Chain A
Amino acid sequence: MGKVFTGFGYWDVGAWIIFFVVAAFYVLWLRYQGRSDYKKGTEQDEIYWSGNETPEDGDGLTVPASSAYWGFRKALEPFYDRLVGMHTGIATDILGFYILVTAFMAAIILFV
């Protein structure tokens, strides 16, 4: 039950779940160890905001989603410019791609 044989190996759900349970147990035990000189509620608990004033509201603390992968996007700038440039949003462009792909397939299958 829960074991699937593919052509080249097998997949066992029970084994994975047991693995995750054991790993979770270890992680939680390690977290529970802690340090003896940590006191909750004192200044050891405060957020460190690079020496500046910590913003009160969560608004100033969150990292917006658009800046999450900016390095990835910047490194692949030529690729992304062309890819996003292809998605112009003009209705006839979508149709153009579709007709071009169908015409290309028809030409190749009939004449090659």
Chain B
Amino acid sequence: MNWNEHLPALLLALPLLGAFLAPLCSLGGKTLRNAMLVAVSFFTLLVAFFLWRTVLADGIQYYVMGGENSRLALPSGMAIPIRIILEVDALSAFMALCGAIASFAGALFSLNYMSRFTGLSRFASLYLLLTAGMLGMMITGDIFNFFVFIEVSSIASFGLIAFWRDRPAAVEASFKYALISQVGSMLILVAAGCLYGKYNMLNMAAIGSALKMGAMEKVALVFLVGSLAMKCGAFPMHMWLPDGYAEAPTGVTCLLVAVSQASLYGLARVCFSVYGIAIGSAFIPWMIIVFGLASMFFGVAMAVVQHDMKRLIGYHSVSQVGYMLLGLGVGLLVLGDPRAMAEFGFTAITGGLFHAFNYTMYKALLFLAAGAVYYATGKRDLNDMGGLARRMPYTAVMFLIASAAISGLPPFNGFVSKLFIYESSFAVHPFLAVVALVTSVLTLASFVKVFQTAFLGPEKSVFAGVREVPPAMLAGMAVLTVVVLGLTLFPSWSIANLAEPAARALVDQSGYIGAIMGGGM
């Protein structure tokens, strides 16, 4: 059997199988359940890695669910694809790799972090369901299937954010997220219905080939952009994000960061591959740029004055998403203009996508380090902390690396992607680059405060019994640190093999459509 052919389906099947096996494995004891969680996450990471290699070598991979032949997109006599088709191009494989690494790190971390709590079979089950939903969002080629996977990951997140049911703040955060997520998903369904009603097709490539801009398509685009921007955490719809990220158990927060990136992927896919140059007016690109600028600046302004560690890092999430939205918006703005595209548009999209990968890695590492501090000291409030670097040296070093990466300090990887975004947004209008630079400075200010307050300074007597965290948690953080350092030391390899193929696949709408519809729009 040719394994390469079935990799997309395996990527979804493995976490789903793990999710449903979790209650059974719990009957066999704690060790069996933990082993299953780590093994399934690791094999999902392997499948994502092999899928990425296959896509880079062989081009767009697609998989027809439920057909006689998994490569038969247009069965005999049909002019439109009729089954659910998973379409994996370089961008999907890139995002799936990123998400799988975050999921593996979170699973390793949760082994020891959650060991004091009960109900862990449900935790493992929901965690693997969330992984399956996120990966499904990234590789599906069908717009209704995209909605279904958004709902799968949202429902799993509601349960996971409220996992510590005896804490009022966790229940409140989960309720607020559930409310806005449900309304947003209903609007995505309205958009999918509008597109179906007009074209009688649900496949994204098929809709892209037949699309002509009219009132229905404009309404669908607005609903999709608004809801997906809300799910990423764009200002002013971001208020659920710091609450949700702070109150969830830390391994889950690590995965939620990757789930927000899946929504960003959905936004890019809808704007570039389904609509493409048919977008016409420059309103939606400018709206995305404005979302980006507002998220960047107001997110970091709110973050500077926080004193709860995880909530502060959550507000920085909002501001980093602004960078990616700025890059994608600038790329979308000049999509129809080949000269500007070659000059700065392609750089902007490459920068935005590379920033998404970098961001997932260092943000997950920041959350894991904050969770390690909480596990060791029992405190989340920065006012109570101090002098932990002597007691927890490894955590302090990894937090330092992640803080330098997020602030965009050379030589770390955050600077490279930000450099691409600064240069390309400067070419559109200097004000965009100014806002981005000011945001970087404020991010650095905020993390200087966090690192100094939590780790440096004189030792406190209340922390006399604090020790370094257990090895499984250190292993989870080490996975992410290794990836961050790898991206730092080999930027040209990373850009040439990770970010550039993804950006090229994103702007190549005819390639995306041609893989399913069989050559030619």
Contact = CB atoms under 8 A, between A and B. Distances in A.
| Contact present between A and B (CB < 8 A) | yes
A59 B461 contact: yes
B236 A97 contact: yes
A66 B457 CA distance: 15
Interface string A92-103: 011101110110
A6 to B, nearest CB: 6
A101 B218 contact: no
B460 A59 contact: yes
A102 B175 CA distance: 22
Contact of A16 (B227, B281, B411, B420): B411
Interface string B298-320: 10011011010000000000000
Given A95-B179, A97-B236, A58 B491 contact: no
A91 B179 contact: yes
Contact of A101 (B236, B489, B490, B491): B236
A83 B465 CA distance: 40
Contact of B411 (A17, A72, A83): A17
Interface in A35-91: 57-59, 61-66, 68-69, 72-73, 79-80, 83-84, 86-87, 89, 91
Interface string B43-72: 000000000000000000000000000000
Contacts of B225: 105
A98 B187 CA distance: 11
Interface residues of B, number: 64
Contacts, number: 145
Contact of A58 (B218, B347, B458, B492): B458
Interface stretch (B75-83, B101-109, B369-377, B382-390): B382-390
A100 to B, nearest CB: 8
Given A62-B460, A98-B230, A110-B215, A2 B490 contact: yes
Interface of A: 1-4, 6-9, 11, 13, 16-17, 20, 57-59, 61-66, 68-69, 72-73, 79-80, 83-84, 86-87, 89, 91, 93-95, 97-99, 101-102, 105-106, 108-110, 112
Given A2-B492, A58-B386, 8 more contacts: A1-B493, A7-B343, A7-B344, A58-B457, A64-B453, A91-B175, A95-B180, A109-B284
